Amino acid sequence: AQVSVPLMKEGGHMMFIGAYIDHLILPKFAAYAAAKAGLEPLIGILAKEHRRHKFTVVHPGAVATPFWNNAPFSLPKNAKQPIAVAEAILARWESGETGKLDL
């Protein structure tokens, strides 16, 4: 992200997607979960360092994707469809709002 910021146009909006597992304790997912859990502090720092740009982290919750086919647990009943998540992300981008987006 740090390397990409200088390439952004002024007022550009960088969006990061969190993961359902960022708060779960799952064997073999340590690096992935840690990386996703670090997104909120990352956008906070980026926003302070690069005030002419916008930064958002999206926490979609569980999303019905092929990930769940091999997951060690079943898809939650309240899982969102990918199109609903995409529409929410687009709406956030169009609104110009920044920060955390919980879906």
CA distances from 67 to 52, 63, 64, 88 (A): 36, 9, 8, 21
Task: In whole angstroms, give the CA distance from residue 13 to residue 43.
Answer: 11
Residue 3 inside a domain? The answer is: no
State which residues form the domain around 40.
8-102
Q: What is the CATH number of the domain that holds 70?
A: 3.40.50.720
Question: Model confidence over 55-85: pLDDT tens digits?
Answer: 999 999 999 999 888 877 788 899 999 999 9
Residue 95 inside a domain? The answer is: yes
- Which pLDDT score is estimated for 22? 67
- Tokens, residue 80: 């969102």
Residue 1 inside a domain? The answer is: no
Burial classification of residue 9, based on how many CB atoms lie within 10 Å of its CB (0-12 exposed, 13-18 middle, 19 or more buried) = exposed
Please count the structural domains in the chain: 1
Question: Model confidence over 6-59: pLDDT tens digits?
Answer: 889 988 999 999 987 767 777 888 888 888 889 999 999 999 999 999 999 999
Task: In whole angstroms, give the CA distance from residue 89 to residue 45.
Answer: 21
